[in-house]
Amino acid sequence: MTEGYRTPGVTEVYVKTKRDLKDSLMRYASEETERIRDSKGEYLEYLDISSRFANFSVNNLLLIKKQMPEATDLRTFEGWYREGIRLRDGAFPVSLIQKEKTKDKDGKEHFTSERFYDARDTVFGARVAIKREIEELINGAERLAGRNAGDRLPFGDDVIRDELFELLREGISPLIDREGITDERRKKLITDSVIYAVMRRYRIEVSPDEVDISGLKDIKDVADIKTCLNSVRNVFRRAAYVIDDELMKKDMAERLLHDNEREETVMTI
| 165 assigned to some structural domain | yes
CB 231 within 8 A of CB 179: yes
Q: Is residue 196 part of a domain?
A: yes
- Residue 176: what residue type? I
One-letter identity of residue 122:
T
pLDDT of 154: 43
Which amino acid, one-letter code, is at 205?
Answer: E
Calculate the alpha carbon distances from 43 to 15, 40, 100, 187, 215 in Å.
Answer: 33, 5, 30, 16, 12
pLDDT digits (tens, 9 = 90+) for 167-214: 677 778 888 888 888 888 899 999 999 989 988 887 777 888 989 888
| Helices (H), ranges, 146-209 | 164-178, 184-201
How many domains does the chain fold into? Answer: 1
Q: Residue 248: pLDDT above 90? A: no
**Maximum Cα–Cα distance for the chain, whole Å?**
75
Burial class from Cβ neighbours inside 10 Å (0-12, 13-18, 19+) for residue 44 reads: buried
| 72 confidence band (pLDDT: 50, 70, 90) | confident
**Conformational region of residue 59, where left means phi above 0, alpha means psi within -120 to 50, and beta covers everything else:** alpha
Check if the beta carbon of residue 193 is closer than 8 Å to that of residue 211. Answer: yes
For residue 165, give its domain range.
123-269
Instruction: Tell me the pLDDT of the chain averaged across its residues.
Output: 75
Structural domain includes residue 110: no
Asked if the structure places residue 178 within a domain, the reply is yes
What are the tens digits of pLDDT across the range 82-128? Answer: 888 888 888 889 999 887 766 666 667 777 888 999 988 888 655 55
pTM for the model? 0.73
The pLDDT of residue 257 is 53
62 belongs to a structural domain: no
Q: Is residue 263, in this structure, part of any structural domain at all?
A: yes
φ/ψ (deg, to 5) at 197: -65, -40
Q: pLDDT tens-digit profile of 144-175?
A: 554 443 444 444 434 445 566 776 777 788 88
Q: Are 121 and 88 in contact (CB under 8 A)?
A: yes
The C-alpha angle with vertex 60 and arms to 241 and 128, in degrees rounded to 5, equals 65
232 closest CA partner among 71, 61, 99:
61
- Please indicate, yes or no, if residue 82 is contained in any of the structural domains: no
Nearest CA to 75 out of 118, 106, 109 is that of 118
Give the strands of the sheet with 111-118, arranged side by side.
74-75, 111-118, 93-99
Assess if residue 109 is contained within a domain: no
Yes or no: say if 45 and 69 are a contact pair by the CB < 8 Å rule.
yes
